[in-house]
Each structure stands twice: as structure tokens, then as C-alpha cells.
């Protein structure tokens, strides 16, 4: 079954909406197969977002992702990668559809509440970044 990595970013954890976010995926019939809370170092955040190392936002993004605890979540379901991205909404909340997580909670394109894997290849890198096989149930 297809799996994806979602992260509730430091701004989402601060807003106290972990349960609200997780429940949106459960209500769509997707299953939570792993979840934890961790505080990344800046080096870990840079390594998670290594694909963006040439982008102008790489440094500020790594600072943001290590400013407080995050909640990585593995979600499972048919077509889950695309479904999770749809429920999240566009990267920039100004462009996100009504009823999406980013439209409802994000303050800017930088601080946008959630991360979601964008392909099977990214999921294959991102899930083991946070979870061992024994933690995915």
C-alpha cells in the first residue's frame, strides 16, 4: 500500500492543531501508520530538505524547521501521496483552495503548517529519515 510522509511544521505544533490536522486525513479514510514528535537540529533540517539546497529559501527554511518541535506522520492509503497534497493545499496559502489545511491555518508561503512528500521517490527518502520499519504499523 502507498505511503507518504507528512510533517506538521513548528508553526502547526505551536498553534496546537496537531489533532485537527491528523483528523482531516483520517476523515478521508487514510490511515496513520506512524507518528512522533521530534525537534530537529538545523543540520538535520538541512539534510531533510537537501533537494532544495540551491534555492534561495534553503537557509531560512532550515532555520524555520528547526525552531521548535515538529510532528512527522506516515500516512497510508491508495493514492495517498496525491491525496495528502490535495488536503494540504498549495504551497502558498494565498493560492490554496478553500477548506485545505494551508488555506485554513498557514500565514505565508514560508510558514505553511505542513510538509507532504511529492512523489514515491521523495517518500522513499523521507519516511526512513524519521521512522524505522518497526515503527510503521
Q: Cβ distance 46 to 58 under 8 Å?
A: yes
112 binds, among ligand UDP, Mg ion, none (CB under 5 to 8 A by kind): ligand UDP
The catalytic residues are: 115
Q: Cβ distance 103 to 93 under 8 Å?
A: yes
Can residue 115 be called a binding residue for ligand UDP (CB under 6 A)? yes
Can residue 122 be called a binding residue for ligand UDP (CB under 6 A)? no
Residue with cell 507518504: 4
Least gap, CB of 77 to ligand UDP (angstroms): 19
Q: How many alpha carbons fall within 13 Å on the CB side of residue 46?
A: 8
109 binds, among ligand UDP, Mg ion, none (CB under 5 to 8 A by kind): ligand UDP
User: Which residue among 4, 66, 100, 112 contacts ligand UDP (CB under 6 A)?
Assistant: 112
Quick one: 5 or 22, whose CB is closer to Mg ion?
5
- What are the residues binding Mg ion (CB under 5 A)? 118
Q: What is the DSSP letter of 49?
A: T
| Residue 89 phi, psi dihedral angles, 5° rounding | 95, 170
Contacts of 127 (CB under 8 A, 6+ apart): 3, 4, 5, 74, 117, 136
Count of residues that interact with ligand UDP, criterion CB under 6 A? 8
Can residue 109 be called a binding residue for ligand UDP (CB under 6 A)? yes
Question: Interface residues with ligand UDP (CB under 6 A)?
Answer: 57, 61, 91, 109-110, 112, 115, 118
Amino acid at each position: 500500500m502507498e505511503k507518504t510522509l507528512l510533517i506538521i511544521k513548528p508553526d502547526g505544533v505551536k498553534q496546537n492543531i496537531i489533532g485537527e490536522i491528523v483528523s482531516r486525513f483520517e476523515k478521508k479514510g487514510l490511515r496513520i501508520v506512524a507518528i512522533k514528535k521530534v525537534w530537529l537540529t538545523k543540520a538535520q533540517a538541512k539534510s531533510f530538505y537537501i533537494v532544495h539546497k540551491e534555492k534561495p529559501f534553503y537557509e531560512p527554511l532550515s532555520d524555520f524547521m528547526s525552531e521548535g518541535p515538529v510532528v512527522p506522520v506516515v500516512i497510508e492509503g491508495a493514492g495517498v501521496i496525491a491525496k495528502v497534497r490535495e488536503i494540504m493545499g498549495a504551497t502558498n496559502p494565498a493560492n490554496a483552495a478553500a477548506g485545505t489545511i494551508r488555506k485554513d491555518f498557514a500565514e505565508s508561503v514560508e510558514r505553511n503548517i505542513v510538509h507532504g512528500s511529492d512523489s514515491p521517490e521523495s517518500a522513499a527518502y523521507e519516511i526512513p529519515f524519521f521512522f524505522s520499519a518497526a515503527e510503521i504499523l
